Amino acid sequence: MLKNKYIYLLIITVLCLGLLTNPAAAQDDSLNIAIPGRAQTLDPAYLQRVLSDWPVMNSIFNGLVKYKPGTFEVVPDLAEEWEISEDNTEITFQLKKGIQFHKGYGEFTAEDVKFSFERIIAEDANSPEAQSFINLERVEVINQYTVKLILTQPMGRLFTSTLPFNAGLIVSKKAVEEMGREKFASNPIGTGPYVFEEWDVNNNITLKRNDDYFEVGAEYGEIVFMPMSDPTSQELALQSGEIDIGQLTLDNFDQISQMEEFEAEIYPDLAIQYVAFNTSKEPLNNKKLREALRYIINPEEILIGAFAGKAERANSILLEDMTGYWQAPDFKLEDVGEDYVWNLLAEAGYPEGEGLELEYVTDANEERRLIGALIQDQLSRFNIDLNIEALEVGPKIDRWQDGSYDITYARFTNTVDPGYNFQWNLSEQLGKWNLFHWSNKEYDNLWQEAETTLDSNLRAENYKKMQQLMNDDSIGIWVTHGVKTPAWITEIEPVFSPDGVILPWLISNSEE
Amino acid sequence: MFIYITKRLLWVIPTILTVLLLLFSLSYLLPGDPADIILGPRATPEMAAELESRLGLDNPWYQSYLIYLQNIIKGDLGTSIFRDRSVLKVILDVLPYTVILTLAGMGLAVFNGISIGLLAANYNNSYFEKFLTMLSFITASTPTYIAGVLLIVVFSVNFNLLPSIGIGDGGLLDSIHHLIGPALALSVGWTGYIARLTRSSMLETLDQEFIQTEKSFGIPRYYILYKYALKKAIKPIIAVIGLGIGRLLGGAVFVEVIFNRPGLGRLIVDSVNERDLPLVRGGVLVAALLFVVANLIADISYAYFDPRIKQK
Amino acid sequence: MFKSQKFFRFQKKSARVIKIMKKDYKAYLGGSVIMLILISAIFAPLIAPADPYKTNVTKRLEGPSLQNLLGTDSLGRDILSRLIYAARPAVLVSFGGIIISVIIGIILGLLAAYVGGILESIILFIFDVIRAFPPIILILVLLSIIGPSLLSVIVILGVTIMPRYGRVVRAETLSEKEEDFVEAARSLGADNSRIIFKHILPNIFASVLVLSGMDMASMIMWEAGLSFLGLGLQPPLSSWGVMLQESYQYIQTAPLMILWPALAIMLTMLGFSTFAESLRVALNPKLNQEV
């Protein structure tokens, strides 16, 4: 009896010890990468959250062109070369030969290009990418390796954001036709450096190396993408060895990036985060008042309070090195003095700020809540009351669209093409995504003109003018582009896009 | 007894029908346009229309309700809007993880709770007993999410002993390893409750005559404690386990979110946030069914162990 | 005659309860915690050392110091002051929620027991439908319909818990109805409302009190949990749950920060539940086993 007891005890102790030693997460040939959200589909024509899905898509599929790794420069990918007609409406691509789709779905040809693009613009397609191909009329197959895009009008964003991004990814015609759209969405077939393997219950996506890749193949044999929406979880998972690449929280960035086991870097995000004033509703339809608010609301404090001082101030919708960048003047309280702002308030009809009560709508996202609390405190220094309403995303969007708020804070995802990024402030977006509820004919015309030209100088000019218009009307405050803070274990050497998105097939082993 | 069980079972049917009606009405009650929430600025009017027809919002409500009921009887819970899979499949995929988590949590709670309770009963009226009683009150006052966060801070961050997220690579040992933290977090609240129950039930039993008689015969104390008293005292504990499983099912929501585990709770939270209506309906329906069954078991086991109810 | 006898009984009983509780350390612990929370909530502006909304980003995430006894949060706000102010929503949620569920529960329970028939079945049915959902999931779905705010959290918590009181009140009323003194009162021509207020309510008072002590602990727990999921109260109100959620991402840089709201929640729950337990022992009411 007693003997039995000791044996049990021994077994239990051994079991406990066995369980408590953390098994190494990464096998040598496999990498675990955290992505910010659960993938919803793996069909590039129907991506809904491009941000989280892009590293996955980019590993499975290729486009005709791509961004040169580490830059936003456009270079050939599946295409060998291309020619643009005089009137900029016909583009002829010569395709590379002998490229094979995954899992024996045959050679990549012009037919696949035609199919991939035309399925997006088809009337019953309902693809969120239809807009990316807005001027595409049809695709013509010249021969097996030559394909021609025929546009109704020149398309400014075709090469900057449509073709190198997810709309331009080429799927296997044979695979989609055989499987049907629904099945293809969870069994993607492309030509990329990795082959889709599994999408499991925990929404992890496993890819295996494509040994027949037409360029230099990937170093790691297997990649598992693990969705973790919360940077805190990613950080913990990285430290406990469950993932090899993930994001850090801003506050822990310094501490963890200094550890020997990890390396980390800060990249500017491509998005734009801003404070928007509702310019079509009392009291902020008053430009003087908006100007006063531009002085009172201090984005620098937001950067410290909500971004741990890690994010850079944004002075434009665009990143500094993008075509059309124009630096909006910064309205600094210390430059003009408080009296100036009190005067502005008085001129606007609110002497001493009395009686001014503003409505601030945001979602319950923690960062936004902090920003709300900060703005509230800043306004209270000028006797202005700010009522914060932290709604769920759905009701918040309802409020955005019917314009029942005075101030809001938003984050819009951008692309490399300015035309895309500027479209939300058009008059036609009123009641949709124009959060300033601002309409300006000149702005609309400039945008339209830039949209239908390939002349990048003209485009740059127009975008600059558009930003001046927004600035003149003081419709809001650009706060930051945000940051990405990828971190990784020192055994590997990852490559990122300029906005900090991992390019999984270029990861190499730093110890070899 | 048989009549009692039958009556309880019959009573469940209209309840479930009403639950179904409530779930159905969600599509008219939930604020926010799903197309906008998910698709964001990229939504086209055509996509919104397709979504509406998938949600059954393009028919009059009574028609849609009948279709909904018909489908449920056929076992068709609809298709998740944003996962391109059938709701039933999505739920069945994650359900085992919630069940295992709940059972493991309950197992830990029962084991630890009974141990603490026995100790407390054994050392009744000592300072040690007061300490144990306080301990059981404190554990009962520790919400799952606090327990989870503290476990992560201590065991995952500081000592790197337990994984903080996920379910492991599928191997048995690794799965268990990933289960320890979540199950422990889940068990904490009920550990305290079961400890208190065990103690009071033990004390009651020890007071009873036959034990007193045994004592006078000079039978060793621990023998009395474990062989006779525990056997009797355990009945009310078994009776509350059904109830506890139902409650832990709710606590699993937090554990699954914090530890990033797949499961019914996280599925419901995610789908509510995303306004994936078919999935919200399906998930809540399954959770309610499980909960009703757990409560039913609890009620029946009460009736079985407490003769007073049987007569009612 | 009945009135005085009844009153005498009640008085005697209270005296006995107080006598028993005076010997119970759990009563002191629970009582003082509840007092502490109430005092913080009522006198927050007097006690709090600083303005809980005042931000100062140059002093963010500082550890405890003389100036900020518990340190500062990510916007440089004083944690101690925020903790004290957060007792307000905690008190509002727990007391408000319990008042709603007790009142509705008593009304429905009495109706069911007194009127009987179809009405009783309907009321019991409503209870069963509410009880068919795991509470946290019901709360979650209801909140996303109504939208999170202090009022909606209170109402939803109240309604979710309500069936317990309805059921207890109904069961107690049914058994009290059989008791001699109620029969006697009725035969003397006392009307129903008189019987309810003079005879039934004082008798179910004990059970309701004990149950509500335990439920107030649960309400604090649920509110904080909802906030933790991002569904709780809205700023500038800051509850312990909101603070918990806000400090979660600093568990490595400022691990102490998450400890304070966690302790506040646990202490409050401990206070309510130990006090309820001590009451239960003293009153020894015929409680439903359910916790």
Nearest chain B Cα to C144, which residue?
B30
Contact B287, C138 (CB under 8 A): no
| pLDDT surpassing 90 at residue B80 | no
In the predicted model, what is the mean pLDDT of residues B267-273?
A: 87
Whole-number pLDDT of residue C1: 44
| pLDDT surpassing 80 at residue C236 | no
Q: pLDDT band at residue B207, thresholds of 50, 70 and 90?
A: confident
Does residue A508 sit at the B interface (CB-CB below 8 Å)? no
CATH of residue A43's domain is 3.40.190.10
Residue C39 in any domain: the answer is no
Q: pLDDT band at residue B58, thresholds of 50, 70 and 90?
A: low
Q: pLDDT band at residue B209, thresholds of 50, 70 and 90?
A: low
Closest CA to C155 of C211, C225, C96: C96
Q: pLDDT band at residue C9, thresholds of 50, 70 and 90?
A: low
Whole-number pLDDT of residue C277: 87
The residue that leads in pLDDT, C181 or B85, is: B85
Q: Name the token pair of C79.
A: 């944690």
Residue C57 in any domain: the answer is no
Query: Which domain range does residue A93 map to?
Result: 62-115+131-172
Question: How far does the CA of residue B73 sit from the closest CA of chain C (Å)?
Answer: 19
Residue C88: how many CA atoms within 13 Å on its side-chain side? 17
Residue C186, Cβ neighbours under 10 Å: how many? 15
In the predicted model, what is the mean pLDDT of residues C129-139?
A: 90
Q: pLDDT band at residue B160, thresholds of 50, 70 and 90?
A: confident
In the predicted model, what is the mean pLDDT of residues B269-278?
A: 83
Q: Name the token pair of B57.
A: 């919002």
Q: Which residues of B touch C217 (CB under 8 A)?
A: 141
Does residue B149 sit at the C interface (CB-CB below 8 Å)? yes
**What is the spatial order of strands in the sheet that A272-277 belongs to?**
A385-391, A357-363, A407-412, A272-277, A476-480
Whole-number pLDDT of residue B40: 62
* Residue of B142, B287, B292 with shortest CB distance to C137: B287
Q: Which residues of B touch C270 (CB under 8 A)?
A: 137-138, 141
Whole-number pLDDT of residue A23: 46
Does residue A321 sit at the B interface (CB-CB below 8 Å)? no
Question: Are A414 and A453 within one domain?
Answer: yes
Does residue B10 sit at the C interface (CB-CB below 8 Å)? no
Beta pairing, strands A222-227 & A30-35:
parallel
Does residue B53 sit at the A interface (CB-CB below 8 Å)? no
In the predicted model, what is the mean pLDDT of residues A159-175?
A: 92
Contact B261 A22 (CB under 8 A): no
Cα–Cα distance measured from residue C271 to residue C39, given in angstroms and rounded to the nearest whole number: 14
Query: Which domain range does residue C253 map to?
Result: 77-287
| pLDDT surpassing 60 at residue A15 | no
Record: fold of B94-262: MetI-like fold (1.10.3720)
Q: pLDDT band at residue A474, thresholds of 50, 70 and 90?
A: very high
Contact A397 B94 (CB under 8 A): no
Q: How far is residue B280 CA from its own chain's centroid?
A: 18
Q: How far is residue A96 CA from its own chain's centroid?
A: 30
- Mean pLDDT, chain C, rounded, equals 85
Per residue in C70-112, pLDDT tens? 999 888 899 999 999 999 999 999 999 999 999 999 999 989 9
Contact A19 B32 (CB under 8 A): no
Cα–Cα distance measured from residue A343 to residue A336, given in angstroms and rounded to the nearest whole number: 11
Nearest chain A Cα to B261, which residue?
A202
Whole-number pLDDT of residue A246: 94
Closest CA to A294 of A175, A404, A378, A169: A378
Q: Which residues of B touch C26 (CB under 8 A)?
A: 133, 137
Does residue B297 sit at the C interface (CB-CB below 8 Å)? no
In the predicted model, what is the mean pLDDT of residues C39-43?
A: 95
| pLDDT surpassing 70 at residue B118 | yes
The residue that leads in pLDDT, A466 or B293, is: A466
Residue A422 in any domain: the answer is yes
Residue C253 in any domain: the answer is yes
Residue C6 in any domain: the answer is no
Closest CA to A412 of A391, A387, A436: A436
Question: Are A348 and A421 within one domain?
Answer: yes
Whole-number pLDDT of residue B179: 92
Question: Is the ipTM, as predicted for this complex, more than 0.90?
Answer: no
- Percent of chain A whose predicted confidence (pLDDT) is above 70: 94
Contact A253, A264 (CB under 8 A): yes
Contact B269 C134 (CB under 8 A): no
A-B CB pairs within 8 A amount to: 110
Cis peptide before A283 (omega within 30 of 0): yes
Write down how long chain A is.
512
Residue C56 in any domain: the answer is no
- Percent of chain C whose predicted confidence (pLDDT) is above 90: 37
The residue that leads in pLDDT, C187 or A325, is: A325
* Residue of B31, B133, B292 with shortest CB distance to C132: B292
Residue B21, Cβ neighbours under 10 Å: how many? 13
In the predicted model, what is the mean pLDDT of residues A5-34?
A: 63
CATH of residue C239's domain is 1.10.3720.10
Does residue B29 sit at the C interface (CB-CB below 8 Å)? yes
Q: pLDDT band at residue A191, thresholds of 50, 70 and 90?
A: very high
Residue C47 in any domain: the answer is no
| Interface with chain C: mutation pick from B15, B30, B129, B141, highest number of C CBs within 10 Å | B141
Q: Would you tell me the crossing angle of helices C150-178 and C87-115 to the nearest 10 degrees?
A: 40
Whole-number pLDDT of residue B55: 63
Q: Which residues of B touch C252 (CB under 8 A)?
A: 157
The residue that leads in pLDDT, A9 or B252, is: B252
Question: Are A457 and A330 within one domain?
Answer: yes
Cα–Cα distance measured from residue C146 to residue A164, given in angstroms and rounded to the nearest whole number: 43
Cα–Cα distance measured from residue A3 to residue B301, given in angstroms and rounded to the nearest whole number: 38
What are the CB-based long-range contacts (under 8 Å, 24+) for A207-215? A207/A56, A207/A59, A207/A60, A207/A504, A210/A102, A212/A100, A213/A505, A214/A96, A214/A98, A214/A99, A214/A100
What are the CB-based long-range contacts (under 8 Å, 24+) for C178-184? C181/C2, C181/C5, C181/C6, C184/C2
> CB burial class (10 A; 0-12, 13-18, 19+) of residue B249?
buried
| pLDDT surpassing 70 at residue B232 | yes
C22 to each of C13, C39, C274, how far by Cα in Å? 14, 22, 14
Question: Are A241 and A303 within one domain?
Answer: no
Number of independent structural domains in chain A:
3
Per residue in A332-384, pLDDT tens? 999 999 999 999 999 999 988 888 999 999 887 778 888 999 999 999 999 99
CATH of residue A349's domain is 3.10.105.10
In the predicted model, what is the mean pLDDT of residues A499-505?
A: 92
Q: Which residues of A touch B262 (CB under 8 A)?
A: 201-203
| pLDDT surpassing 60 at residue A75 | yes
The residue that leads in pLDDT, B230 or A122, is: A122
Residue C229 in any domain: the answer is yes
Per residue in A203-237, pLDDT tens? 889 999 999 999 988 999 999 999 887 788 888 88
- Mean pLDDT, chain B, rounded, equals 81
In the predicted model, what is the mean pLDDT of residues C13-41?
A: 87
Beta pairing, strands A245-247 & A222-227:
unpaired
Q: Which residues pair with C72 in a beta bridge?
A: C78
Whole-number pLDDT of residue A24: 44
B113 to each of B198, B225, B289, B298, how far by Cα in Å? 7, 16, 27, 18
In the predicted model, what is the mean pLDDT of residues B200-215?
A: 74
DSSP symbols for C78-100: BHHHHHHHTHHHHHHHHHHHHHH
Number of independent structural domains in chain C:
1
In the predicted model, what is the mean pLDDT of residues C17-29?
A: 83
Question: Are A226 and A167 within one domain?
Answer: no
- Mean pLDDT, chain A, rounded, equals 89
Contact C291 B272 (CB under 8 A): no
In the predicted model, what is the mean pLDDT of residues B29-58?
A: 65
The residue that leads in pLDDT, A4 or A147, is: A147
Contact A439, A424 (CB under 8 A): no
Whole-number pLDDT of residue A170: 96
Does residue B97 sit at the C interface (CB-CB below 8 Å)? no
Q: Which residues of B touch A19 (CB under 8 A)?
A: 173, 176-177, 180
Question: Are A214 and A86 within one domain?
Answer: no
| pLDDT surpassing 70 at residue B286 | yes
In the predicted model, what is the mean pLDDT of residues C183-211?
A: 76
Contact A296, A500 (CB under 8 A): no
| pLDDT surpassing 80 at residue A402 | yes
Per residue in A294-333, pLDDT tens? 999 999 999 999 998 999 999 999 988 888 999 999 999 9
